[in-house]
Structure 1
Amino acid sequence: MALADPVRRSIIARLSRGPATVNELAEPFEISKQAVSKHIQVLEQAELVTRTREAQRRPVHLNPARLEALTAWIDQYRLVREGQFRSLDAVLRSRAADGSD
């Protein structure tokens, strides 16, 4: 998944403040600009970011609509899992109350 990698999550966080070039995105990392470009390509394939051309610059932009859709999808599964964990907690509490191990 595109957001499984901490570098990509950091790139998304940075782009949430506005567009940036690959050089600007690479600054905080101790990896090559080529590696950052590959991370950006993964984010592009997931449609989370886009690139434009402004004269000599090629800024990367966050695609907020796609990020919102992904967040909604994640939240849907999070809610299901939370319900399952609450059910499991209830079963474990009842077993502990019964003295069962």
Structure 2
Amino acid sequence: MFHDRSKSFGSAKDGLMKAGRAVIDARYPEYKKAIRVFSHGDDLALARMQARRSQADCLNPRVSLPRTLYVVATQTGGTPQTNLDLMAALQDSRDAWLLRCDPSI
């Protein structure tokens, strides 16, 4: 058995969706605008473009080394410096990627 979207609701689907949407609209009147901003905002468009570029880079067949993603939560201090040192030391055997988290966004 598997889940096939909303088929399990049968003919009740439309009524259930309308009722659910009414509850969301009543509880969260800003929801519709928030979704519109999220879906069409410039910041998200930029993030999507950067994600597409990164995905294309990841799929680039010219890189034959195994890839390693390093994720750090800070931009200063010992942790990012240690990761950069490790990436430099392994540059001949790994295609290293670094993801820095930015809590201010």
Question: Normalization by structure 2: what TM-score?
Answer: 0.30
> Which of the pair has more CA radius of gyration?
2
Question: Normalization by structure 1: what TM-score?
Answer: 0.31
Query: When you count strand as a share of all residues, which structure comes out higher?
Result: 2
